[in-house]
Amino acid sequence: MKIIDVTRPLVKGMLVYPGDSIPSFVQADHGRYLISDIHLSSHTGTHIDAPAHYLKSGDTIDTIPLRHIIGRCRVIDLSGTGSSSITEDDLEGKLQGVKRILLKTWFSPRGTFCEDYPSLTHDAACCITKSGIECIGIDSPSIESYNCDGSVHRRLLGSGCIIIELLDLSDVTGGDYEMVALPLRLAGLDGSPARVILIKQEGM
């Protein structure tokens, strides 16, 4: 069994989406113990979007179905395309027999923000929801383009498809894995940083 951590570390100076809070970490030495104050956005680093992020009546991060973010998933390697738009054609024939997918793109090794990061087109989002996908993850800052209208988020979240953003899939090859993605249980909030791991069992 191989365990791969695909979470970006939360560190000072890390990549953040423009307009989000800059994370800060202050550690105090109390002699016999250390304790830290942490300030960050609910969408800092590798994080999960709950439906409430875009839908006022949607599930909050503490009420999303855990079965959507735990279980068999497929990593789809699109890193060779070099494109910033992930279309329905890019996903053709790759969604059968799976409920959770992670999209590996050329952005995984990057540590700085750029406006042309890879993202889903609306037709790709429609393809995903029609295929019954319950969770989609991506290694870029957002599942939707920088100059967006929110329609991709609303299409996915409105269909019960949970979104994971800003993964690090640099060391992951395409294929099927077991995934565990757990947000903090933040009552009533729209999202949360998460620890996401992939498990490769023999024979998978």
Task: Indicate if the pLDDT at residue 156 is higher than 90.
Answer: yes
| pLDDT tens string 45-95 | 999 999 999 998 899 999 999 999 999 999 999 999 888 999 999 999 999
Average the pLDDT over 168-179 and give the result. 97
Question: Which stretch of DSSP H or E encloses residue 38?
Answer: strand 34-39
Q: Is residue 123 part of a domain?
A: yes
In a domain, 58, yes or no: yes
Residue 46, classified by CB atoms within 10 Å of its CB into exposed (0-12), middle (13-18) or buried (19+), is buried
Report the percent of the chain where pLDDT is more than 90: 94
* Tokens representing residue 93 in the block: 């024939």
Q: In DSSP terms, which residues pair with 120 in a beta bridge?
A: 86
CB neighbours (10 Å) of residue 175?
13
47, 53, 68, 153: the catalytic one is 53
Q: Is 53 a catalytic residue?
A: yes
Q: What is the mean pLDDT of residues 1-6?
A: 96
For range 185-197, the mean pLDDT: 98
Is residue 5 scored above 90 in pLDDT? yes
Answer yes or no: is 59 within a domain: yes
Residue 194 and residue 28: Cα distance in Å, rounded? Answer: 24
Summary mean pLDDT of the chain: 96
> Around Cβ 180, how many Cβ atoms within 10 Å?
16
Please report, for the domain that includes residue 48, its CATH number.
3.50.30.50
Residue 18 inside a domain? The answer is no
- How many structural domains comprise the chain? 1
Q: Which domain holds residue 154?
A: 2-11+42-200
* pTM of the model as a whole: 0.96
Q: Is the pLDDT of residue 203 over 70?
A: no
